[in-house]
Amino acid sequence: MKKPLREYLADLTEFVNVNRILRIGRRATKKAQEDNRRMGIPNVYSINGQLYYELPNGELTTEDPMAGQTQESEDTHSENVSNEAKPSDEQSESASSIETDASSTETTEGTGETAITPPKSHAGKNGAVMKPKSRTSSPSAKPTATADE
């Protein structure tokens, strides 16, 4: 029995799309495996329900090569990093004073005039100030100017 052309093309399109998705998935998986090898993380494969780990030399084994490593070594490393990242009290005080000064008024040099800086939430593209939209007013509530006036 012959299929109508539309059904044949629909089946063909579906088949092509599925193959394309699978090809993209295989490519992404291959890239992830290469990244794991580069970082020294073993790739894990499940074959008939059994887990196999890929060693750096390419051999497969059923023993987890990462099982001997403890979590403590990673914890001490993260503590060292977090201690280095903490700013000193003097630095945190100066940073907080700068933040409060930036949101307050600024005095322009020479003229003595004060310029009010808008909050960061109103900053738009390229530093332009954007006015927040009023949620209570609607376009129909505003009087419109006509050309007669």
Q: Is residue 96 part of a domain?
A: no
Q: Is residue 120 part of a domain?
A: no
For the entire predicted model, the pTM comes to: 0.28
Domain range for 49: 5-63
The amino acid present at 76, given as its one-letter code, is: T
| 124 alpha-carbon distance from chain centroid | 21
Q: Is residue 11 part of a domain?
A: yes
* Cα–Cα distance, 86 to 120 (Å, whole number): 25
Q: Is residue 141 part of a domain?
A: no
Q: Is residue 98 part of a domain?
A: no
Q: Which residues of the chain have pLDDT under 50?
A: 73, 78, 82-83, 90-104
The pLDDT of residue 95: 47
What is the tally of structural domains in the chain?
A: 1
* Cα–Cα distance, 98 to 86 (Å, whole number): 18
* Residue pair 108/117 in contact by the 8 Å Cβ criterion: no
Q: Is residue 76 part of a domain?
A: no
Q: Is residue 56 part of a domain?
A: yes
Q: Which residues contact 124 (CB under 8 A, 6 or more apart)?
A: 130
* Cα–Cα distance, 14 to 47 (Å, whole number): 29
Q: Is residue 90 part of a domain?
A: no
